[in-house]
Amino acid sequence: MIEIIGILATILIVIAYVPQLIQVLKAKSAENVNGEMFSILIISNILWIIYGININAYSIILCNGLNLIQSTIIIYYKYNNQIIKSIKSYKTKNS
């Protein structure tokens, strides 16, 4: 029974990320996303995965593994666009 609760919690938390992820993927940008928050979430997900592995809690591993993927995609779009803008700005200034 407790594992069912963990799976339900996993489903809900993964669904909670979906609207933000869809918005980022459609825009191919995450400018309005708080990068620090998602960076902390990534670290938290990694720690939870390590914890879940150590106690053999598959729902914890699954939940945080999926959230890690979602957060990593969002962070990629957040900082990738900033890097591209910096490169374009540098090229424009030095041309």
**Token digits of residue 8:** 């339900």
Residues 66-89: pLDDT tens digits?
Answer: 999 999 999 999 888 777 777 877
Residue 24 lies in a domain: no
Residue 14 lies in a domain: no
Q: Which residue reads 């708080």 in tokens?
A: 34
**How much is the pTM?**
0.80
Is the distance from CB of 83 to CB of 31 less than 8 angstroms? no
Residue 4 lies in a domain: no
Residue 21 lies in a domain: no
Q: What is the CB-side half-sphere exposure of residue 78 using CA atoms within 13 A?
A: 16
Residue 86 contacts by C-beta under 8 Å, 6 or more apart in sequence? none
Residue 83 lies in a domain: yes
Q: Give the residue numbers spanning the domain of 65.
A: 31-95
How many domains does one find in the chain?
1
Residues 12-62: pLDDT tens digits?
Answer: 988 998 999 999 999 988 888 888 999 999 999 999 999 999 999 988 999
